[in-house]
Chain A
């Protein structure tokens, strides 16, 4: 099956710093999403981005499907950005299941 690898596994930032999270996947995909799980456990969809670039406030994401990776950029980080960031993909073809990476755990210190 398709492999989804996220890096780094852990990240500690000072408030105001920028960061880049990476998601590598081993096969072509029809669906790629980034999620944020906050410290209270809620999973929030950040981006649906099987290809191209999107921006939402201080967050942006780029997926280069031909090279099988996606990047999530967090600018001017805030303490509320803390939590775990997950990348999940659906392999191309007649597949329906989202396959998940293990996440990047981010802590933003004041």
Chain B
């Protein structure tokens, strides 16, 4: 198993550009989520999904879109990048919607100029 994979590892954008962060898992997990991590603020949930076709907002959803067309993939789209979206982004998955161990991807370091 590759586990949870994310691409790219690093990205630099200009203000106003859009891009998609890719996330995939090969463990047939129902639950997938996206977090951002900023210094001193811990991990904050952006969006999550409890299965294909089902997504919901987390704590900080503004400026981000997600979709879940398959069990394996959960891309995060930045619609119009802003400097405030400079952060490290983590994708995660777990087998159970409520219980079970959560596994993280390696992260994407995004800088918006």
Docked-complex contact A96 and B50, CB < 8 angstroms: yes
Docked-complex contact A96 and B31, CB < 8 angstroms: yes
Q: Mark B41-82, 1 if CB is under 8 A from A, else 0.
A: 111110010100000001000000000000000000000000
Report how many A-B pairs have Cβ atoms within 8 Å. Answer: 54
Nearest A residue to B56 via CB reads: A96
Judged by DSSP, the binding face of B is strand
Does B110 lie at the interface of the complex (its beta carbon under 8 Å from any beta carbon of A)? Answer: no
Instruction: Report how many residues on chain B are interfacial, defined by Cβ distance under 8 Å.
Output: 24
CA distance A31 to B101 in the complex (A): 9
Docked-complex contact A45 and B107, CB < 8 angstroms: no
Does B98 lie at the interface of the complex (its beta carbon under 8 Å from any beta carbon of A)? Answer: yes
CA distance A30 to B99 in the complex (A): 7
- Could you tell me the distance in whole angstroms from the C-beta of A44 to the nearest C-beta in chain B? 8
Does A100 lie at the interface of the complex (its beta carbon under 8 Å from any beta carbon of B)? Answer: yes
Instruction: Report how many residues on chain A are interfacial, defined by Cβ distance under 8 Å.
Output: 23
Docked-complex contact B45 and A42, CB < 8 angstroms: no
- CB-CB under 8 A from A50, the residues of chain B are 99
- Could you tell me the distance in whole angstroms from the C-beta of B91 to the nearest C-beta in chain A? 11
Does A103 lie at the interface of the complex (its beta carbon under 8 Å from any beta carbon of B)? Answer: yes
Does A2 lie at the interface of the complex (its beta carbon under 8 Å from any beta carbon of B)? Answer: no
- CB-CB under 8 A from A101, the residues of chain B are 42
Does A33 lie at the interface of the complex (its beta carbon under 8 Å from any beta carbon of B)? Answer: yes
Chain A positions near chain B (C-beta within 8 angstroms): 30-31, 33, 35, 41-45, 48, 50, 86, 88, 90, 94-98, 100-103
Chain B positions near chain A (C-beta within 8 angstroms): 31, 33, 40-45, 48, 50, 58, 88, 90, 92, 97-104, 106-107
Apart from the given pairs A88-B102, A96-B50, A102-B40, 7 other A-B contacts in the complex at a CB distance below 8 Å: A31-B98, A35-B104, A41-B107, A45-B104, A48-B101, A96-B48, A102-B42
